[in-house]
């Protein structure tokens, strides 16, 4: 086998491993535990900024042996710019609903309220305004969940 062929094989192998990782797994930026619902782990899986809007995605995993009910009121979710001592709540549309989901109902602008079966997970997303002072990192706070600290804000 020529040197060139070996290089191609190595390249393909690395590409295969990389794509398999993205295909079968999911990137996790940070994980925190729910403070009151046993066995619920919350993965921060994505943070994107577009048009001065920060979109965050989470995955709530139930690692307990039983189904767990999880409530997250969108009105109580916010991001913090600790350097400039400011916090920003989720964006609310003209109907008074938070631009977030999935929402069980419209109470208080919408809330995530679902039973997650043992061993299963559910996604959650919320849109926030980008902090005005362009901090390098933020803290993300969800009610009942330990804060996601020092999350880098990269465009």
Partner 1 sequence: MKSLALAAFLVFCLGPLFPLSGGRAHSGVDPAFQSGKNAEDPVIPADAQERAILALKALGADRRAKAISFETAGILGVSKGVGFDSKQVQKTLKELEAKETKTTIQIDLPGDVLFDFDKWDIRPDAEGTLKKVGEIIKAYRSPNVLISGHSDSKGQEDYNQKLSMRRAESVRDWLVKNAGVDAGIMKTEGLGETKPVAPDTNPDGSDNPAGRQENRRVEILIKKQ
Residues whose CB is less than 8 angstroms from the CB of residue 115 and which lie 6 or more positions away in sequence, other chains included: 67, 68, 69, 70
List alpha helices for the chain, DSSP H. Answer: 3-24
Which tokens hold the place of 111? Answer: 């809330």
Residues whose CB is less than 8 angstroms from the CB of residue 116 and which lie 6 or more positions away in sequence, other chains included: 40, 60, 61, 62, 67, 68, 69, 70, 122
Q: Are 119 and 40 in contact (CB under 8 A)?
A: no
Closer CB to partner 1, 31 or 92, in the complex: 92
Shortest distance in whole angstroms from residue 34 CB to partner 1: 12
Which residue has 């999911």 as its token pair? Answer: 26
Footprint of partner 1 (CB under 8 A): 8, 12, 15-16, 18-19, 22-23, 26, 36, 50-53, 55, 59, 69, 71, 80-82, 85-89, 91-94, 99, 101-104, 113-115, 120-125, 127, 129-132
Which tokens hold the place of 90? Answer: 């989720």
Shortest distance in whole angstroms from residue 25 CB to partner 1: 11
Shortest distance in whole angstroms from residue 14 CB to partner 1: 9
Closer CB to partner 1, 19 or 152, in the complex: 19
Closer CB to partner 1, 36 or 150, in the complex: 36
Closer CB to partner 1, 30 or 92, in the complex: 92
Shortest distance in whole angstroms from residue 139 CB to partner 1: 10
């Amino acid at each position: 086998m020529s040197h060139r062929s070996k290089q191609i094989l190595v390249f393909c192998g690395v590409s295969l491993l990389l794509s398999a990782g993205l295909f079968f797994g999911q990137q996790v930026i940070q994980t925190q535990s729910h403070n009151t619902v046993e066995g619920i782990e919350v993965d921060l899986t994505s943070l994107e900024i577009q048009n001065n809007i920060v979109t965050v995605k989470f995955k709530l995993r139930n690692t307990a042996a039983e189904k767990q009910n999880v409530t997250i009121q969108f009105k109580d979710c916010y991001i913090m710019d600790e350097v400039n001592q400011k916090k920003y709540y989720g964006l609310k549309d003209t109907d008074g609903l938070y631009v977030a989901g999935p929402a069980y109902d419209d109470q208080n602008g919408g809330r995530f309220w679902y039973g997650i079966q043992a061993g299963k997970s559910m996604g959650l997303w919320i849109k926030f305004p980008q902090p005005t002072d362009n901090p390098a990192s933020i803290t993300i706070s969800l009610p009942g969940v330990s804060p996601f600290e020092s999350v880098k804000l990269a465009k």
